Amino acid sequence: MSHLSLELRARQADRMIAEPAVLVHLCSETDWARAQFDGELRPPSLAEVGFVHLSAPEQVHLPANRLYRGQSDLILLVCDPRLLGSPVRWEPGVPTDPASMLFPHLYGALPVSAVTRTVPYRPGVDGGFAVLPANFGTHGCG
């Protein structure tokens, strides 16, 4: 059983959290190219706070708009949660996020082998990022 499954089951007593089919990570095309060479992605957050920020597909627009508004070189790393290799903990985001929303945090480097595909994530003309389709990550969508 994956670290993600164990963590989600432990939290289900308090809140109902459905295990997503995929998790996503936002990064620049340059950071992804470097990760492919290194075999893993180690964003600054890993050294600064001890984890890699991930999102469920329906959440990713929130950090994208908060941190990367107007940035046109972003891609979504679509990850298989079973292949992450380190614990994933669902924890609160920032105070401006919905109160009950938890975000997945990966407590280790993101292995390139866990990334099943990449998807360009471009802002609209207003610089904002759209919510992903409800079926993103399922049946080859997204």
Residue 18: pLDDT band (50, 70, 90) is low
What pLDDT is attached to residue 94? 83
**Per-residue pLDDT at 119 exceeds 60:** yes
Least confident residue range of 6-15, 57-66, 84-93, 118-127: 6-15
What pLDDT is attached to residue 82? 95
Give the residue, 142 or 128, on which the prediction is more confident. Answer: 128
Percent share of the chain, pLDDT over 70: 84
**Per-residue pLDDT at 8 exceeds 90:** no
What's the CA gap between 1 and 11, in Å, rounded? 15
b/e map of 88-116 (b: 16 or more CB within 10 Å)?
bbbeebeeeeeeeebbbbbebbbbeebbe
Interval 5-33 mean pLDDT: 71
Q: What is the pLDDT of residues 35-71, one digit of tens each?
A: 999 999 999 999 999 999 999 999 999 999 999 999 9
Q: What is the pLDDT of residues 64-97, one digit of tens each?
A: 999 999 999 999 999 999 999 999 999 998 888 8
Q: What is the DSSP letter of 21?
A: S
CA angle 45, 88, 32 (to 5 degrees): 50
Q: What is the helix (H) or strand (E) element at residue 92, kind and residue range?
A: strand 88-92
What pLDDT is attached to residue 105? 96
